């Protein structure tokens, strides 16, 4: 046993000492770009393969120079392809908005100074969140009677180069509101402005006439109250310059638990550290709410506060305002600060306080634990001004056995004659959500993590004599039995409710699902009798070539009662070689009208070979993976190639669920900056997302057998690609991001015979630094010491002999801090392991800047060339 050879006290003392050591991250010096020069040689299938090269020796240059590098040209061309536009359908389903995007932001955007307060990053120049992605253009198409798109209307009027965010339709779909950010700070001290555009003409204009009114977009910025009025968060007019940090601190930083509170929390970063940061949080987050009409008339509402949520009632008479307030905390984010919910009328009259919840530092770490008191307070979307909420009966502690566990309540905004809240439903599991269906019915979902049990109840909220009826009772892990989710439609007020299908007697609803089957996912649409539970399949995706999916209901009816023969659906369609396109399906003939014609984003990989493969691991558990091979590659003629296996382990409660197929072989091969398909262009075989199930059946804890199951799954994957003759046994690399990086390090420590090298991005390798749980592990370090130690590749650094590339964002705010990689690299180096550490300035858990992404690809390519292809 490892613990028998390692004194626990010395072990923990060592962990504590290194946890306090400073990070050895790279300095933020200005970096210049250098291309990677590959000495590649052609292969027999190079004439057909867009890459045109088999991996060759590593570049002969100073690979340790602190300069951003560029990957090979064939990879650059793939990464620089701009993404297709996003779509946004109008509430009345008569228009579709397309939003243009760019590929990757420059590093200079991440390098802009910001404030990190209470778990959020703030851009002082715009009083908004920093590092926001944005859109570069808006166009609108009218949906014609025959289902085709009308002429494009480009939204215009805003400055060139503007960064567009927070785009919303008005409830009637006649206008769009959005924010515009400029490249540089403007004269009035803010580079953020609220604009409105006419959907018919595309003409856009600033909404506020006065430049003295500045927006506050730290939390929810604005919401439509009705078709011509918006509720907007603005900077209080009384606000002056930001608080300056005193040269001499207010006093020492003190944290005390003399009350003996039991507070178990997972590792956190970026919380408020002192009184000065509390002042800054108040300064930037405090808003004055104003109502503004489309003609520019402004009226203040309520007092300045830190508003985190704005919700107008469906009848446009009330405002539900949620704010946070002091006392703050240094160990939790703003989400757990004291929280107040108030009701106001739209003309500025205070109605009442719904609740004022205290600071919530002590929510247990057990899954399904929640905050005490009223939570998830929402307006009923099918009623004028009635709201509902949930209250835990177990004090929010999932470890407490109690029945019922949650109660859902409902009451009007202004109760009459001392009217008490109505109990909607009592639940023995933890409440998850409600889908409403105009008072006649509603679907209530509950869930319990430990057993993976999920149940769906049918209730009749406006009929007290109707008892809740169980509709579905199943395991959340059982993808094959998933009934799908109800399709929603827009009411006249713009809210979402379940769409009903008109019949003479019974009530039917539409259920759409992914349709997991042993042969792959086949999305479906079912007609469900909500009274009897019987269902009929009325549509499903093709199975031979295309993967189709229902995206939205395009039939508009304010009462949300639709005739089946008048059904219109927005559908996506893709294949292995054809990019995703959008279609309108018109019933009863199910005629399909193509709406988009996007080209293949990377034609050089258009003929890549893709196959969904099935195999078993040693204990009989069925496994699945997607095998990709370069265009034109023939294993029998070209022989085995270098192979990259990229995965992420998953946790299950049953062997049957772990073995289910959850993907489709017909989906288009999309490439993003974390996906290994790029190396198809370099002549690699890719085994993408092989399932690595870690199973804990019954009362067993999955992680107690983590290493054993991890090795068995990896060994089965390696044996399969070797058996097929597509991979050379001595040229198989393994990699992953986050928990996949943790997997990679463990495989190199425990199964070095399987892989020639590894790539680990943004991982956590020392589980004693995450002592209150990680992933789905709910036991603490002190409750499962042996498991924590055995699962930590940091402890086995002396066993790692194969080359490992460690990459981490310097500003990773998750439990996977950059310190995890720097410390792991230090101990690997001290044991003589071939390793390399790359710390990316300004990057977080996932990497976004073009310079960073290109350099990560260059580093990965260099590693694979040197330690895999040339092995």
- Catalytic residue numbers read 738, 812, 845
Sheet arrangement for strand 441-448: 430-437, 441-448, 453-459, 469-475
- 485: buried, middle or exposed (CB in 10 Å: 19+, 13-18, 0-12)? middle
Give the start-end residues of each E strand in 313-373. Answer: 318-324, 339-345, 350-357
- Tally the residues of the chain: 871
Q: Which residues contact 864 (CB under 8 A, 6 or more apart)?
A: 55, 642, 644, 679, 682, 684, 733, 757, 759
Contact 513, 482 (CB under 8 A): yes
Q: How far is 709 from 694, CA to CA, in rounded Å?
A: 6
Q: What is the DSSP string of 16-50?
A: HHHHTSPP-PPP------EE-----B--TTTTTSS
Give per-residue burial for 22-37: e unless 16+ CB within 10 Å, then b: eeebeeeeebeebebe
Q: What is the dihedral of CA 694, 700, 701, 702, to 10 degrees?
A: 0
Tally of CB atoms within 10 A around 565? 9
Distances in Å between the alpha carbon of 106 and those of 110, 166, 415, 616? Answer: 8, 21, 54, 44
Contact 305, 323 (CB under 8 A): yes
> Is 226 strand, coil or helix?
strand
- Torsion sign over Cα 284, 290, 292, 296: negative
Give the residue among 833, 768, 767 at the shortest CA–CA distance from 799: 833
Give the residue among 689, 678, 707, 685 at the shortest CA–CA distance from 786: 707
> Is 178 strand, coil or helix?
strand
Backbone angles phi, psi at 589, to 5 degrees: -80, -10
Contact 447, 428 (CB under 8 A): no
> Is 856 strand, coil or helix?
helix
CA 650 from chain center: how many Å? 17
Q: How far is 124 from 821, CA to CA, in rounded Å?
A: 31
Backbone angles phi, psi at 449, to 5 degrees: -65, -45
Sheet arrangement for strand 149-154: 86-89, 95-100, 137-143, 149-154
Beta strands 685-688 and 641-646 are parallel
Give the residue among 713, 798, 718 at the shortest CA–CA distance from 755: 718
Helix residue spans in 622-778 (DSSP H):
635-638, 655-658, 706-723, 739-750
Tally of CB atoms within 10 A around 491? 20
């Amino acid at each position: 046993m490892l613990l028998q050879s390692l004194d626990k006290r010395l072990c923990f003392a060592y962990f504590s000492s290194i946890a306090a050591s400073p990070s050895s991250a790279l300095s933020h010096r200005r970096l210049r770009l250098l291309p990677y020069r590959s000495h590649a040689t052609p292969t027999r299938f190079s004439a057909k393969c867009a890459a045109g090269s088999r991996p060759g020796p590593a570049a002969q240059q100073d690979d340790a120079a602190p300069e951003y590098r560029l990957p090979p040209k064939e990879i650059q061309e793939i990464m620089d392809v701009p993404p297709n536009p996003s779509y946004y359908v109008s509430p009345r389903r008569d228009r579709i908005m397309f939003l243009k995007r760019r590929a990757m932001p420059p590093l200079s955007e991440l390098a802009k100074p910001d404030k990190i307060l209470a778990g959020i990053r703030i851009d002082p120049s715009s009083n908004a969140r920093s590092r926001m992605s944005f859109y570069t253009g808006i166009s609108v198409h009218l949906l014609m009677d025959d289902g085709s798109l009308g002429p494009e209307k480009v939204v215009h009027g805003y400055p060139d180069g503007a960064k567009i965010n927070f785009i919303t339709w008005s409830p009637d779909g006649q206008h769009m509101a959005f924010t515009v950010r400029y490249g540089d700070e403007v004269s009035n001290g803010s580079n953020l402005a609220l604009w409105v555009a006419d959907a018919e003409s595309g003409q856009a204009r600033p909404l506020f006439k006065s430049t003295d009114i500045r927006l506050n977009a730290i939390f929810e910025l604005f919401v439509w109250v009705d078709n011509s009025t918006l509720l907007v968060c603005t900077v209080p007019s009384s606000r002056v310059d930001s608080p300056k940090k005193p040269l001499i601190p207010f006093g020492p930083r003190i944290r005390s638990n003399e009350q003996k509170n039991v507070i178990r929390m997972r590792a956190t970063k970026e919380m408020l550290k002192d009184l000065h940061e509390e002042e800054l949080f108040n300064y930037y987050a405090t808003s004055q709410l104003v109502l503004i009409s489309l003609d520019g008339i402004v009226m203040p509402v309520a007092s300045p506060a830190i508003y985190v949520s704005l919700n107008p009632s469906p009848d446009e008479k009330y405002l539900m305002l949620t704010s946070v307030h002091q006392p703050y905390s240094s160990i939790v984010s703003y989400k757990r600060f004291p929280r107040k919910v108030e009701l106001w009328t739209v003309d500025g009259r205070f109605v009442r306080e719904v609740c004022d919840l205290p600071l919530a530092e002590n929510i247990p770490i057990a899954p399904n634990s929640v905050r005490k008191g009223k939570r998830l307070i929402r307006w009923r979307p099918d009623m004028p001004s009635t709201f509902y909420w949930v209250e835990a009966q177990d004090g929010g502690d999932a470890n407490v056995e109690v029945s019922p566990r949650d109660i859902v309540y409902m009451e009007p905004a202004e109760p009459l004659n001392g009217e008490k809240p109505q109990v909607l439903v009592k639940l023995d599991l933890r409440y998850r959500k409600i889908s409403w269906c105009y008072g006649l019915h509603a679907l209530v979902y509950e869930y319990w993590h430990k057993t993976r049990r999920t149940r769906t109840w049918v209730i009749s909220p406006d009929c007290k004599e109707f008892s809740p009826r169980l509709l579905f009772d199943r395991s959340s892990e059982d993808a094959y039995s998933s009934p799908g989710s109800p399709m929603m439609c827009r009411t006249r007020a713009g809210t979402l409710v379940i769409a009903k299908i008109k019949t003479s007697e019974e009530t039917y609803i539409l259920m759409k699902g992914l349709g997991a089957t042993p042969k792959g996912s086949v999305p479906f649409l079912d007609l469900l009798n909500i009274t009897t539970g019987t269902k009929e399949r009325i549509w499903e995706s093709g199975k031979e070539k295309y993967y189709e999916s229902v995206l939205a209901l395009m039939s508009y009816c304010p009462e949300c009662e639709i005739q089946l023969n008048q059904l219109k659906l927005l559908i996506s369609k893709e294949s292995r070689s054809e990019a995703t396109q959008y279609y309108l399906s018109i019933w009863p003939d199910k005629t399909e009208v193509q709406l988009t014609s996007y080209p293949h984003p990377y034609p050089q990989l258009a003929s890549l070979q893709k196959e969904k493969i099935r195999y078993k691991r040693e204990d009989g558990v069925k496994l699945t993976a997607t095998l990709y091979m370069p265009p034109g590659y023939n294993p029998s003629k070209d022989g085995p190639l270098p192979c990259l296996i990229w995965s992420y382990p998953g946790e299950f409660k049953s062997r049957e669920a772990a073995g289910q197929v959850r993907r489709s072989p017909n989906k288009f091969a999309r490439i993003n900056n974390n996906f290994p398909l790029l190396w198809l262009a370099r002549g690699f075989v890719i085994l993408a997302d092989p399932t690595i199930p870690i199973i804990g059946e019954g009362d067993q804890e999955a992680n107690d057998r983590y290493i054993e199951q991890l090795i068995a799954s990896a060994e089965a994957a390696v044996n399969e690609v070797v058996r097929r003759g597509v991979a050379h046994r001595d040229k198989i690399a393994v990699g992953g991001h986050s928990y996949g990086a943790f997997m990679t390090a463990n495989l190199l420590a425990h199964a070095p015979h399987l892989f020639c090298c590894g790539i680990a991005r943004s991982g956590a390798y020392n589980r004693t630094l995450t002592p209150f749980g990680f992933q789905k592990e709910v036991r603490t370090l002190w409750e499962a010491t042996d498991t924590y130690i055995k699962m930590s590749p940091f402890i086995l650094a002396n066993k790692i002999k194969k080359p490992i590339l460690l990459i981490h964002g310097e500003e990773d705010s998750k439990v996977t801090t950059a310190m995890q990689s720097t410390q792991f690299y230090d101990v690997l180096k001290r044991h003589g392991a071939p390793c390399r550490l790359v710390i990316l300035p300004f990057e977080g858990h996932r990497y976004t800047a073009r310079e960073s992404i290109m350099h990560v690809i260059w580093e990965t390519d260099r590693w694979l060339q040197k330690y895999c292809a040339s092995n």
